[in-house]
Amino acid sequence: MQEPQACIEVKDLVKTYKRGELRALDGVNLSIENGQVFGLIGPNGAGKSTLIGCLLGLLRPDSGTITILNKPADFLSVRQITGYVPERPDFEGWMTGRLFLEYHHMLSRRDKTSMHEEIEACLQEVELDPSAWNRKLGTYSRGMLQRLSLAQCLIGKPKLLLLDEPTLGLDPTGVAVVRKMVANFRKSGITAIINSHQLDEVERECDQVAFMRQGKIEQIENLRSSPIGAYVLFVRWTDDESNGHSSENVAQLAQSIGVSLKEGNRCWARFSVNGGQEAARLIKEMVSAGYPVEEAVTERTRLEKLFERKTNGEQSE
């Protein structure tokens, strides 16, 4: 069986500031497959944004190598296939949304005859209200500017996307737009790297996540495998006294399949489960027993636990 082709290869990457006194990246090694959605998490100052700057070819590392589709990161041919959403985009307030995208369409050297059609497709994908398309950017809200930034990164039909805090400033509808976009990236085989402090969104959208601290990648987590170890599952069902769903009944049901009930009442319960398969079996048994389950969520996400474990270790050191 042929191994998946790597889109990005980072080897022994070192980047320092202040004449070598500050080591922002300290021997980073990373391989990201084609079509993978990869997340970067870690505390402030971990080196995540510096790594993205090196991947974009905007920062020159002290040592080590980066190849993107077998070419150096600063090659023009690599930049042509790369889309980027910065954490703090800077806009010319006198431009309209449409003019801003026309400018970037020309920079991408795409066919002028398709400009109008492609720009409107990007604006529709990020669900920016058509009434704002011809308004000046100085009148846009923070969330509207973020949507426009997302539209801009799609203009050149990129094969690689680097998204730095893509949900920053977005309302719940905007966050849903980002989720849909990431799902489309995956379907289209686009490789995406997402740097974010929104751990629940990273866990929802990414295939793998790297935890960075003090310029190093300390751990890479595969989010498509089942969580290891016990975690708390909160389950809520419709409150209907006629069904007789007491905490004693749900405790007996849980015990019959080897799950521990931590606490609960007639309409909700907290269980200690050991992995996704056990959680799925519990929910299936509850539905079969007549519990109208409305909600089943982990109280703390897998990445929240990873982040807390790693950062607590940092504080203790």
Expressed as residue numbers, the domain containing 282 is: 230-302
Residue (of 284, 277, 285) closest to 225 by Cα position: 277
Cα 69 to its chain centre, rounded Å, is 22
Q: Is the dihedral of CA 45, 16, 207, 156 positive or negative?
A: positive
Residue 1 in any domain: the answer is no
Return the pLDDT at 249: 82
106 and 15 in one domain? Answer: yes
CATH number of the domain encompassing residue 293: 3.30.70.270
Locate 162 and state its tokens.
Answer: 């680097």
235 and 107 in one domain? Answer: no
78 and 96 in one domain? Answer: yes
Locate 232 and state its tokens.
Answer: 């708390």
Domain boundary among 222, 252, 279: 222
Number of structural domains (the chain) is: 2
Residue 317 in any domain: the answer is no
The DSSP code for 211 is E
Domain boundary among 222, 245, 273: 222
Domain boundary among 194, 222, 250: 222
Locate 127 and state its tokens.
Answer: 């669900």
CATH number of the domain encompassing residue 87: 3.40.50.300
pTM over 0.85: no
201 and 143 in one domain? Answer: yes
- Distance between CA atoms of 234 and 264, rounded to whole angstroms? 9
Locate 298 and state its tokens.
Answer: 């982990």
196 and 81 in one domain? Answer: yes
Return the pLDDT at 183: 87
196 and 265 in one domain? Answer: no
161 and 36 in one domain? Answer: yes
298 and 248 in one domain? Answer: yes
One pLDDT digit (tens) per residue for the chain, 317 residues? 445 578 999 999 999 998 878 889 999 999 999 999 999 988 888 899 999 999 999 999 999 999 999 999 989 889 888 999 888 778 888 999 999 999 999 988 888 888 999 999 999 999 999 999 999 999 998 889 989 999 999 998 899 999 998 888 788 888 888 888 888 888 888 999 999 888 878 888 888 999 999 999 988 888 776 555 567 888 888 876 655 666 678 888 888 888 888 888 878 888 888 877 888 888 998 888 888 888 887 766 667 777 777 777 544 33
75 and 167 in one domain? Answer: yes
Strand ranges (DSSP E) for 120-190?
160-164
Residue 311 in any domain: the answer is no
Residue 206 in any domain: the answer is yes
Return the pLDDT at 32: 93
Return the pLDDT at 129: 92
Token pair 């529709």 in the structure block, residue: 124
Residue 136 in any domain: the answer is yes
257 and 153 in one domain? Answer: no
Return the pLDDT at 316: 38
119 and 213 in one domain? Answer: yes
Residue 189 in any domain: the answer is yes
245 and 186 in one domain? Answer: no
- Distance between CA atoms of 243 and 187, rounded to whole angstroms? 43
